[in-house]
Structure 1
Amino acid sequence: MGAIRLQAVEKWFGDAQVIKGVDLDIADGEFVIFVGPSGCGKSTLLRLVSGLEEISRGSLYIDDRDVTAEPPSGRGLAMVFQSYALYPHMTVGENMGFGLKTAGAPKTEIESKVAEASRVLKLDALLDRRPKDLSGGQRQRVAIGRSIVREPTAFLFDEPLSNLDAALRVEMRFEIAKLHQSLGATMIYVTHDQVEAMTLADKIVVLQAGRIEQVGSPRTLYERPDNLFVAQFIGSPKMNVVPGGVTDSRFALQGQGSGPAPASAGGANRVGIRPEHIALTNPGEGHCNGKVEVAEYLGADVMLFVDCDPLGVMTVRHVGDTAVKPGEQVGLRFDEQRVHFFDGEGLAVGRA
Structure 2
Amino acid sequence: MGAIRLDRLEKWFEALQVIKGIDLEIEDGEFIVFVGPSGCGKSTLLRMIGGLEEISRGKLVIDGRDVTSDPPSKRGLSMVFQSYALYPHMSVRENMGFSLKTAGAPKSEITEKVDDAARILKLGDYLDRRPKALSGGQRQRVAIGRSIVRDPTAFLFDEPLSNLDAALRVEMRYEIAKLHQTLGRTMIYVTHDQVEAMTLADRIVVLEFGTIAQVGTPRELYERPANLFVAEFIGSPAMNILPCVPSDGGLAVKGGRQIPDSSGRDGAVKIGVRPEDLGAVAPGEGMLDAEVEVVEYLGADSFLILGTEQAGQVTLRADGTTRAKPGDTMGLALTGRLHAFDENGQALR
Instruction: Provide the residue aligned with 2:46 in structure 1.
Output: 46
SS in 1 for 2:94: helix
Residues in 1 aligned to 2:119 and 2:50: alpha-carbon distance in whole angstroms: 27
Note the C-alpha offset of 1:245.
4.3
Q: CA deviation at 1:131?
A: 0.6
Displacement of 1:257 in angstroms is 1.0
Say which SS state the counterpart of residue 78 (structure 1) adopts: strand
Preserved contact between residue 278 and residue 334 of structure 1 (Cα < 8 Å):
yes
Distance 2:264 2:185 in 1: 42
1:300 Cα offset (Å): 1.5
Once residues 102 and 123 of structure 2 are traced to their aligned partners in structure 1, the CA distance between those partners, rounded to angstroms, is 22
Cα distance in structure 2, aligned partners of 1:287 and 1:263: 14
Q: CA–CA distance in 2 between the matches of 1:156 and 1:294?
A: 41
1:256 partnered with 2:256: yes
**Residues 44-71 of structure 1: CA distance to partner in whole angstroms, max 9, x if unpaired?**
0000000000000000000110000000
Identical residues among aligned pairs (%): 66
> How far did 1:299 drift?
1.2
**1 CA distance for matches of 2:13 and 2:250?**
49
State the shift of 1:226 in Å. Answer: 0.3
Cα contact 1:8–1:59 (8 A) shared by 2: yes
Tell me the residue number matched to 2:239. 239
Q: CA deviation at 1:246?
A: 4.6
Q: Please report how far the alpha carbon of residue 284 of structure 1 lies from its aligned counterpart in structure 2 after TM superposition.
A: 1.3
Question: Could you say what secondary structure the match of 1:265 adopts?
Answer: coil
Q: Distance in 2 between matches of 1:259 and 1:340?
A: 12
CA distance in 1, matches of 2:263, 2:328: 35
Residue equivalent to 1:331: 331
Q: 2:25 is aligned with what amino acid?
A: D
Q: Name the structure 2 match of 1:161.
A: 161
Partner of 1:195: 195
Aligned residues: 349
Matching residue of 2:268:
268
Residue by residue over 1:131-182, the C-alpha shift from the partner in whole angstroms, topping out at 9 and shown as x without a partner, is: 1110000000000000000000000000000000000000000000000000
2:348 pairs with 1:349: yes
Q: How does 1:188-227 map to 2 (within 5 A)?
A: 188-227=188-227
What is the CA-CA distance between 1:277 and the residue it aligns to? Answer: 1.0
Report what 1:141 is aligned to: 141
| 1:90 maps to 2:94 | no
For 1:225-282, what per-residue CA distance to the aligned partner results, in whole angstroms no more than 9, with x for missing partners?
0000000000011111111145444221112111322543221111110111111111
Distance in 1 (CA, whole Å) between partners of 2:127 and 2:170 is 24
Distance 2:120 2:53 in 1: 31
Question: Equivalent residue of 2:97, what SS?
Answer: helix
Kept in 2, the 8 Å contact 1:35–1:205? The answer is yes
Q: Match of 1:172, SS? A: helix
Between the aligned partners of 1:311 and 1:259, the Cα distance in structure 2 is 14
- Alpha-carbon distance between aligned partners in 2 of 1:220 and 1:319, rounded to the nearest angstrom: 25
1:14-93 residue pairs with structure 2 within 5 A?
A: 14-93=14-93
| Aligned match of 1:340 | 339
The one-character-per-residue Cα deviations of 1:305-335 (angstroms, maximum 9, x if unpaired) are 1111111110111122211110111111112
Output the CA distance in 2 between the equivalents of 1:46 and 1:297.
38
Moved more, 143-152 or 298-307: 298-307
Tell me how far apart the structure 2 counterparts of residues 296 and 259 of structure 1 sit (CA, whole Å): 27
The residue identity in structure 1 corresponding to 2:106 is P
- For residues 34 and 204 of structure 1, the distance between their equivalents in structure 2, rounded to whole angstroms, comes to 6
Q: CA deviation at 1:303?
A: 1.1
**8 Å Cα contact 2:250/2:265 also seen in 1:** no
Cα distance in structure 2, aligned partners of 1:33 and 1:321:
36
Deviations 1:55-109 (A, max 9, x none): 0000000011000000000000000000111111111111100000000000110
Scaled by the length of structure 2, what TM-score is found? Answer: 0.98
Amino acid in the other structure paired with 2:210? G
Instruction: Report the AA paired with residue 116 of structure 1.
Output: D
CA distance in 1: counterparts of 2:110 and 2:302, whole angstroms? 53
Q: Which amino acid is the alignment partner of residue 338 of structure 1?
A: R
Cα distance between partner residues in 1 of 2:258 and 2:17: 45
Alpha-carbon separation, structure 1, partners of 2:171 and 2:178: 11
Deviation sequence 1:184-224 (CA, Å, 0-9, x none): 00000000000000000000000011000000000000000
Tell which deviates more after alignment, 12-21 or 245-254.
Answer: 245-254
Q: Which runs of 5+ in 1 are unaligned?
A: none
- Aligned pair in 2 of structure 1 residues 315, 239: CA closer, same or farther (>3 Å)? same
CA contact (8 A) 1:6 1:25 kept: yes
8 A contact 1:249–1:261 mirrored in 2 = no
Deviates more, 1:294-303 or 1:109-118: 294-303
The letter of the residue matching 2:117 is A
CA distance in 2, matches of 1:36, 1:321: 34
Q: Report if aligned partners of 2:29, 2:184 keep a CA contact under 8 Å in 1.
A: yes
